[in-house]
Structures are given as structure tokens and as C-alpha cells.
Amino acid sequence: MNAPIITSIVVPVYNEAPCLEELYARLAATARELKKTYEIIFVDDGSRDGSLELLRGFKNRDASVRVIALPENLGQQEAVWRGFQASRGGIVVQLDSDLQNPPEEIPKLIVAMTPGVDLVCTRPSLRRDRPWRVWASRLAHRAGTLLFPKDVSLNLGSFRAMRKSVVDRMQASGDRRYMAALMSQMNLARVEIAVEHHPRPRGQTKYNFLSLARLARVLVVEGLKQNFSRLRPGKLFVERRLPENR
């Protein structure tokens, strides 16, 4: 009988062929160092640059790799959600495929997942993006911070770890909104840790000003919904934070 999976690592992929060989090598090496059973779930979001063929090659030579191929480009949120649904580990890690969040930082998230913690969020110790991207991200975060209720601590980062019970709760809620905002609103015991952030080594970012503007719009809508819900009996979500690990 196979041992149960302890950690699932979910990686959405969209036209990232130039990064994938290095990503897989570093991610597999890091996962082995965890000394726990694991699976790596790559979700190809309708890539057209040969990414899917590379991912299937990794799967053919590594039994810990699983590949989910979406029939078309459905967007990062949907790709991540498909990976979450397929995950079998008690801890689920989300990692982007562009190597800006180094796979070698994953053990920090696992260590921070102490008993009683449901969600580990991250923040870059020094963000290494182009100035326009940093500015746009700060603007989106500022919009969310101003509009969400004061007891909601918003973290928009996509590098995080959570217990599978968090995925189960999102599944049961039927809510398919922007997941970072949703998890920030849930009644979760969470910690936030600093991690390294690197420049993109190769390939092109999939974000542009328009996509970040859409994110800001989503945050405005969700913030207004949350404030409106406070006017009615029975609040849906209240954020509960634990002290940060030092």
C-alpha cells in the first residue's frame, strides 16, 4: 500500500516552456529534501508553446509528478483551483511557474505550518519586478485595504501553503471568487512570513496593466460586498491572525 501524501505542490503553467526544465529540477530537489511523501501537480492552462509536452515528459520519468491539461486558457485562478481540487496532501502549497518565488523557499512555509495554523501567507523581503508592476500591485493592494473591513488582513500573494481543510471549505462554499481575497476573509488561523523574490530569469510575464486593473476591480467589488454584508445579521468571514513566526 502506498504511503499517504503529506504535501501537494500545485503549479499553474501558461506558456512557460523556457522556465520549466529549471523549475522542475529545483522543485523536485526541494521536495525530496522535505523527507516526506509529496506530489507535484502541474496544471497546464492551455499553453501553446510546448509547455504541456515538457510537463508530460517530467511525469513520464517521475512518479511524483501529475499533470492536468486544461482544454483552453481558463486563467490562473481556474488553473490553481483545478490543482487544489486534485490535491491529495494534508498540506497544499501554491507556487507560480516563473521562478520569481524560488522553490527552495517552500520548506519555510512547511516549517511555519505549526499545529493550529491553517494558512501560511508570504510577502517578498524585496520585490524584484519592473517598476510599473510594483506600482500597479501596490495600487491594487491599497484599493483592497481601503475597501475591505478593518478586521480583514488582505494578502494577495500567490505563494502560500494551506491545510487541505481550507481547500475543502472553499469547495463546500461554492465560492469561485478571487481566491486570495476569499482566503483573506475566511476565519483562518494564519501566519505571514518573508520570503525571497527573484527577477524572472527568462520568458515573459503574463501580467499586464489591464490584467492588474481587472484584479483591482475584483477587489473593489468584493470589498464593497463585505462592507455591505456587515450591515446585515450574521457576518460571513472574520479574520483571525496568529503571531508571526520569528
Q: What is the pLDDT of residue 16?
A: 96
pTM: 0.79
Q: What is the pLDDT of residue 41?
A: 98
Domain ranges (residues) in the chain: 7-241
**pLDDT bracket for residue 121 (50, 70, 90):** very high
Tell which wins on pLDDT, 60 or 227: 60
**Cα three-residue angle 131-245-124, rounded to 5 degrees:** 10
Least confident range of 20-34, 157-171, 200-214, 230-244: 230-244
Residue 165 has pLDDT above 90, yes or no: yes
Give CA–CA dist 74/52, Å, rounded.
Answer: 15
Residues 187-216 have a mean pLDDT of: 75
**pLDDT bracket for residue 238 (50, 70, 90):** very low
Q: What is the largest CA-CA distance in the chain?
A: 55
Q: In sequence order, what are the residues at sequence separation of 6 or more whose Cβ sits closer than 8 angstroms to the Cβ of residue 4? A: 37, 88, 90
Give CA–CA dist 119/148, Å, rounded.
Answer: 19
Query: Is 104:31 a contact under the CB 8 Å cutoff?
Result: no
Q: What is the pLDDT of residue 151?
A: 54
Residues 211-238 have a mean pLDDT of: 52
**pLDDT bracket for residue 130 (50, 70, 90):** low
**pLDDT bracket for residue 152 (50, 70, 90):** low
Q: What is the pLDDT of residue 2?
A: 74
Q: What is the pLDDT of residue 202?
A: 72
Q: What is the pLDDT of residue 172?
A: 85
Q: What is the pLDDT of residue 239?
A: 38
Strands (E) in the chain, as ranges, are 7-13, 38-44, 65-69, 91-94, 119-124, 160-163, 189-195, 240-241
Residue 217 has pLDDT above 90, yes or no: no
Residue 234 has pLDDT above 50, yes or no: no
Domain 7-241 has CATH 3.90.550.10: yes
Mean residue pLDDT across the chain: 81
Residue 115 has pLDDT above 80, yes or no: yes
